Structures are given as C-alpha cells and as structure tokens.
Amino acid sequence: MYNFFFYAVPEHFPFLLQGALVTVELSLISMLLGTLLGFFLAVGRLSPRRTLRWPLDAFVEVVRDTPLIVQLLLIYFSLPEAGIVLSAFWAGIAGLTLNLAAYLSEVFRAAIVAVDKGQREAAISLGMSPVAVYCRVIIPQAALASLPTLGGYFIALLKDCSLVSFISVNELLRHATIVISDTFDSMDTYIMVAIIYFMMSFISARIIRYVELWLTPSNRRATLSVPLTMDKEGAR
C-alpha cells in the first residue's frame, strides 16, 4: 500500500489520466454520431418501403451479432485493402459509432412506435407535414422516453472504448499497458485504471440522472413555478 500511494499514484496517475481524456473524447464523439445514425436507422427501418427497410435490418443484425472487437479490426486492418485508410483514432470512432447506432436504432424504433398513433393523426389533421409531425410531436416524446437507456449505453460505451487499444489508440487501457511494460507492476496499474473507470462512470451516471430529472415535465414545471411563487409571497 505504501508503494501504491507514495510511488505508483504520483508517478503514473497523470499519464493514465491523459489516456482517460482520450477515452472521454472517443465516447463523446461516438455517442453523438451513433445517436444521430441510430435515429435515422430507426426511421428507415419503420419505412413501408422494403427496399429501404430490408438492407437496414440486415445491417443492424450483422452488427449486433458480431463482436465489437472484430468490427474494429476489420475497419482498421481490412479497409486499407479496399483503398480506405483511417487513422487508428478515427477507425475506433467508426467502429464504436456503427456498433452503437445498431443498438440505438432498436431503442429509437421502440420509442417511436410507443408514441400514440392518435397524436400523429391529430397532427396530420391539423395540416402538419410528415416532417413537422416527426420534429414537433414524435421526436420530443421518443427522445424523452429513450433518455434513460441512452445514458446506460453511454456508460457502457466508456468501458467499450478499452477495446480500441487493440488497434493502437492511446486511450486509458493502452496507457496502462505502456506503464506495465516499463514497471512490470500490473496490480497497482490496473487498480488505478479501475479507479479512473469508476470515476468516469459514476460522474456520467450522476450527470445523466440530473438531466433526466430536469427534462421530466413535472419536475420542469415545479422548477419554473418556484420563482413565481416566491415573487407572489414577496409581493404580499
């Protein structure tokens, strides 16, 4: 324990935090792109056109039924043979994004289907275009219903980013292997890695929970009504 607190942590923790910043960067970019792509996949899979729906269904099935590490290796090592060369960082982004989008498409599809059809019909009867119905009626409700699941997938994504170390991305786990190769101290290093992953996941979970509570309509109404109530009491 003495060596851990007075040697390992001061010596290697800052270097591991540099890798953790890359992990966070990978997670945020992949989450943003994966969410957008997943939503469009969900909309396409709900299309009545088979020529659009079937290829998207096939893509989702293939991605969900193969390991993420295999997808990353294919993108990084096999695409150059087809003339598509990506850096290790962007190959990791591509793999994480495609994998996440396939799973989120199911989340969004279920959320969209759960919106009451009567609301769609009422919006159309008011003269709203299909695009306006999606933007003003369906998307807000589907997004709110999907938020807890999206938060869970983001936390899982933070930990899945460790797989990009296999394609030489200098994220947290890659930095840990560098430290171990220099010090041969695997136990202390992996304990620090576990602590950092826990910190990132715990903080992310708290932020997601706060956003979820804030976006809940009842909580927002309560929050907005507090200043008004205080003003009335002050006027009295």
Domains of the chain, each with CATH number or no CATH: 11-219 (1.10.3720.10)
The string over 118-144, giving b where at least 16 C-beta atoms fall within 10 Å of a residue's C-beta and e elsewhere, is eebeebeeeebeeeebbeebbbeebee
pTM: 0.84
Conformation bin of residue 184: beta by default, left when phi > 0, alpha when psi is -120 to 50: left
Q: Which of 46-60, 163-177, 211-225 has the lowest mean pLDDT?
A: 211-225
One-letter amino acid identity for 181? S
**Measured between alpha carbons, how far is 102 from 50 in angstroms, rounded to an integer?**
18
Kindly indicate the confidence band of residue 198, based on its pLDDT and cuts at 50, 70 and 90.
very high
Is residue 88 scored above 90 in pLDDT?
yes
* Per-residue pLDDT at 229 exceeds 80: no
Burial of 15 (0-12, 13-18, 19+ CB in 10 A): middle
* Residue 35 near residue 150 (C-beta atoms within 8 A): yes
